[in-house]
Amino acid sequence: MADIIQLLPDHVANQIAAGEVVQRPASVVKELLENAIDAEATSIQLIIKDAGKTIIQVIDNGKGMSDTDARLSFERHATSKIRSAEDLFSIHTKGFRGEALASIAAIAHVELKTKRESEELGTRIEIEGSVVKGQEVTVTPKGTSIAVKHLFFNIPARRNFLKSDNVELRHIIDEFHRVALAHPNIAFSMINNGSETFNLPDSNYRQRVVNIFGGKTNEKLVPVEEETEVLKISGFVGKPEFSRRSKNEQFFFVNDRFIKSPYLNHAINAAYEGLLKEGSYPSYFLKLTVDPKTIDINIHPTKTEIKFDDEHTLYAILRSAVKHSLGQFNVAPVLDFDRDNNLDTPYVYKDKSSSTPSIEVDHSFNPFQSDTPSSKSGGLSSKFKKESTAGWESLYVGLESKSTKTEVDFSNLEFESDPEKQELFSDDSAMSQGQTTYQFHNKYIISPIKSGMIVMDQHRAHSRVLYEGFLKQLTVKEATSQQLLFPLKLELSNSDMDILTQLKEDLEHTGFIFSSFAENSIEIKGVPVNVPESEVSIIFEQLISDVEQEVPDTNFSATDLLAKSMSKSLAIKTGQTLTKTEQEHLVNSLFACKEPSVSPFNRVTFITMRVDDFDKKFM
Ligand code: ADP
Ligand code: MG
């Protein structure tokens, strides 16, 4: 019998390797940006069309390649970065496997132009699916430009597997952020579909963070600096009161390489213990420098994990450095003890407030409001006072405006719903005496029913009521707006703007009116009737972070997400005292809902306790 083992042809091997290296357009972006950095560029431009599906181009002013190197760079295992296996233990470059360009060229149309400083003319090479289509001498500036077109053109299955442009673009932007944060001393720009999304001049680290995440970031950064024998830490953490509802602003860099480390993330969380509101996450932008010999970078090209020789020590140093910074900058006392204290402030902390003698509350600090003339509230406390009234108003207004409509809008829904519900409140003697509800712990509302009583979670119940209201507004597009006396201006980062631009139309259907939708800010002149002005910036922040979390995963529904996000922001909070009228409104409105039993996030809104249950306990 003939031998059956064959060597795979190079282009097949490259395609297989490409499957590992190139998962999506963002992987190409990462590889090309890293190559430019390794080539010592001081200025790097990224050009994207159609979320990288049509073109991904990186232009750098680095050292360029000779014509032989240019041709060789597309060969597998062709690298200028290591010469022997020993070099693997002291890597100072991003790449070293010599696989990226070969892989990319196997599954796309690639055009390379490159020139070294010392040479008059450069080289241009064109490759399609590993096949060299041409190589010629060309006029081109010093540095390298690589354009990757029609990614996955020869692997339709992979191409079809790509997510929507929004999702792919987010991944690209994430990679861009990571690389740009790791190298503040390099200028970066990004052009997406012909318009410049980022222009980051070479700067210090703080400016880089601010340039990426928006001007308002500056005031929330607390520096962290620590140097020990094994580890140097530098960078910033976010003040606790600016903690976000998403994990998007969490960055570790080890020796200028972005990494993910749940373990070190835990160390940061430990440093913030007692300082964060439930469901919020600290921002951090931390650069760790360690001896390359003490780490094991997982040499899988796309992985961002890393192993440290002495994790426990790093954990301890990191935690104490962050804790120290938070303490030193006196940020802990800025915590708002007024707001949602039952829910948000951990008990340990709540009772400790008097034991910190040197409290310096920043009275001008106002976490969510932009400082436009329209912001009426003054200091922190007045803001939250206003806000809590606003919360009440919102409950009242929301319910009131609906209660007039309720009979009309939801009558048939009620009819459809469980007939038992109709009877829930029917013959209760307590009801006729005006004693239908009771609030306890500023969290639950009890209401007697025929067979016993229900205990309702006020926040979840109100979320459900608002959610169905918003969904309806979004579907029938009939929202009413209230004009603001002064337009409200919100400053936003580019990526936040991208998100809001996609949601603009839906937002308008809920009742928002925008007077301008400019590059880095929006101006709002009208808001939905049931949205208090003081809540607007909170709603937008929540919305942006919800989208950021949602988008990478699914073909999410913008409408549903918007309704969920707004109801979450606006629902009365745990910790708010409600009047009898408000309690009753809430109970009635909940049972006028289509799905009263769960919150928009599928959590139980109320439980029923039957008289029998009590009877049993008294046996
Ligand atoms: P690696 O980065 O692991 O060495 P790549 O396939 O990414 O492998 O690149 C192969 C080689 O091509 C690099 O080692 C480098 O010598 C050269 N190269 C790639 N991109 C550039 C660039 N932008 N400027 C100069 N040289 C480059
Ligand atoms: Mg590389």
298: confidence class by pLDDT, cuts 50, 70, 90:
low
122 lines ligand 1 (CB under 6 A): no
Spatial strand order of the sheet with 250-254 comes to 221-227, 232-238, 284-289, 250-254, 257-259
Distance of CA 53 to the CA centre of its chain: 23
The per-residue pLDDT for range 501-553, each reduced to its tens digit, is 888 888 888 889 999 988 888 999 999 887 888 888 888 888 888 887 765 55
**Alpha helices in 123-204, H assignment, sequence order:** 156-161, 165-182
Residue 31 CB less than 6 A away from ligand 1 = yes
Q: Is the CB of 79 under 6 A from ligand 1?
A: yes
Residue 81's pLDDT is 75
Q: Which of 53-57, 289-293, 393-397: highest mean pLDDT?
A: 53-57
How far, in Å, are 66, 110, 473, 605 from residue 529 at the CA level?
A: 66, 54, 12, 25
pLDDT > 90: what percent of the chain?
38
Beta carbons within 10 angstroms of residue 398's beta carbon: 26
* Pocket lining: 95 vs ligand 1, CB cutoff 6 Å: yes
What's the pLDDT band for 414 if we cut at 50, 70, 90?
Answer: very low
User: 252 vs 183, 185, 240, 593, 618, CA distance in Å?
Assistant: 13, 17, 18, 45, 58
Per the DSSP assignment, residues forming a β-bridge with 222 are 237
Q: Which of 22, 33, 38, 96 best tests ligand 1's pocket when mutated (most atoms within 8 Å of CB)?
A: 38
Q: Are 527 and 485 in contact (CB under 8 A)?
A: no
pLDDT at 306: 77
User: What is the number of the ligand 1 atom nearest to the C-alpha of 98?
Assistant: 8
Torsion on CA atoms 11, 13, 19, 25, rounded to nearest 10: -30
- What single-letter DSSP state applies at residue 573? P
Residues β-bridged to residue 445: 439, 456
Contact indicator for 290, 255 with CB cutoff of 8 Å: yes
Count of residues in the chain = 619
* Residue 98 Cβ contacting ligand 1 at under 6 Å: yes
Which residue in this structure is represented by tokens 């939708």? 517
> How many C-alpha atoms does 146 have within 13 Å on its Cβ side?
26
Evaluate if residue 403 carries a pLDDT over 50: no
In degrees and rounded to multiples of 5, residue 473 shows phi and psi of -60, -40
Q: Which atom of ligand 1 is nearest to the CA of 146?
A: 23
**Which of the 8 DSSP states describes residue 238?**
E
Instruction: Please tell me whether residue 123 adopts helix, strand or coil conformation.
Output: strand
* Cα-to-centroid distance, 486 and ligand 2 (Å): 52
> Which ligand is located closest to the Cα atom of residue 66?
1
Query: What are 328's two structure tokens?
Result: 């030193």
Distance of CA 19 to the CA centre of its chain: 27
Q: Distance between CA 300 and CA 448 in Å, rounded?
A: 61
pLDDT at residue 426 in the model: 44
Which residues are bridge partners to 457 per DSSP? 444
CB-ligand 1 contact for 39 (6 Å cutoff): yes
Question: What pLDDT band is residue 574 in, cutting at 50, 70 and 90?
Answer: confident
DSSP 434-502: T---EEETTTEEEEEETTEEEEEEHHHHHHHHHHHHHHHHHHHT---EEEEEEEEEEE--HHHHHHHHH
Q: Is the CB of 172 under 6 A from ligand 1?
A: no
Which residue CA neighbors atom 20 of ligand 1 most closely? Answer: 35
Report the run of H or E that residue 243 belongs to, with start and end: none
Q: Is 100 in the pocket of ligand 1 (CB under 6 A)?
A: yes
How much is the pLDDT for 301? 57
Residue type, 290: V
Check pLDDT > 70 for residue 196: yes
Asked whether the predicted pLDDT for residue 10 surpasses 60, the reply is yes
Structure tokens at 273: 């213990």
Exposure on the CB side of residue 584, measured as CA atoms within 13 A:
11
Strand order of the sheet with strand 122-128? Answer: 131-138, 122-128, 109-115, 143-149, 55-60, 43-49, 187-192, 195-200
Q: How far apart are CA 45 and CA 192, in angstroms?
A: 11
- Contact (CB, 8 A) for 513 and 531: no
Give the model's pLDDT for residue 329: 72
Nearest Cα residue to 126 out of 103, 102, 151, 105:
105
Of 306-320, 408-422, 452-466, the range with the highest mean pLDDT is: 452-466
CA distances (Å), origin 55, targets 50, 99, 130, 283? 7, 20, 17, 33
Cβ of 526 below 6 Å from ligand 1? no
Question: CA–CA separation, 144 vs 122, rounded Å?
Answer: 9
Q: Which amino acid is at 342?
A: N
DSSP character string of 378-396: -SHHHHHHHHHHHHHHHHH
pLDDT at 35 exceeding the cut of 90: yes
Distance 36 CA to ligand 1 centre (A): 8
Question: How remote is the CA of residue 137 from the centroid of ligand 2, in Å?
Answer: 24
Decide which of 233 and 476 is more confident.
Answer: 233
Tokens, residue 381: 């406390």
Q: What is the dihedral of CA 548, 552, 555, 559, to 10 degrees?
A: 0
For 179, the token pair is 């690389």
- C-beta of residue 558 within 8 angstroms of C-beta of residue 469: no
Please say whether the dihedral angle defined by the alpha carbons of residues 380, 381, 383 and 388, taken in this order, is positive or negative: positive
Read off the pLDDT of residues 213-269 as tens digits, 9 standing for 90 and up: 987 888 889 999 999 989 999 999 999 888 877 788 999 999 999 988 888 999 999
How far is the C-alpha of 172 from the C-alpha of 26, rounded, in Å?
A: 4
What spacing in Å lies between the alpha carbon of 102 and ligand 1's midpoint? 10
Which band of pLDDT confidence, cut at 50, 70 and 90, is reported for residue 300?
low
CA of 28 from ligand 2 middle (Å) equals 10
**CA dihedral for 344, 368, 460, 441, sign (positive or negative):** positive
Q: Provide the total of helices (H) and of strands (E) in the chain, helices listed first.
A: 19, 22
Name the residue at shortest CA distance from atom 14 of ligand 1: 79
Q: Are 467 and 567 in contact (CB under 8 A)?
A: yes
Closest CA to 496 of 563, 544, 552: 544
Query: What single-letter DSSP state applies at residue 572?
Result: P
| β-strand partners of 295 | 308
| Residue 330, helix vs strand vs coil | coil
Ligand 1 atom closest to 58 (CA): 23
* Whether the predicted pLDDT of 119 surpasses 90: yes
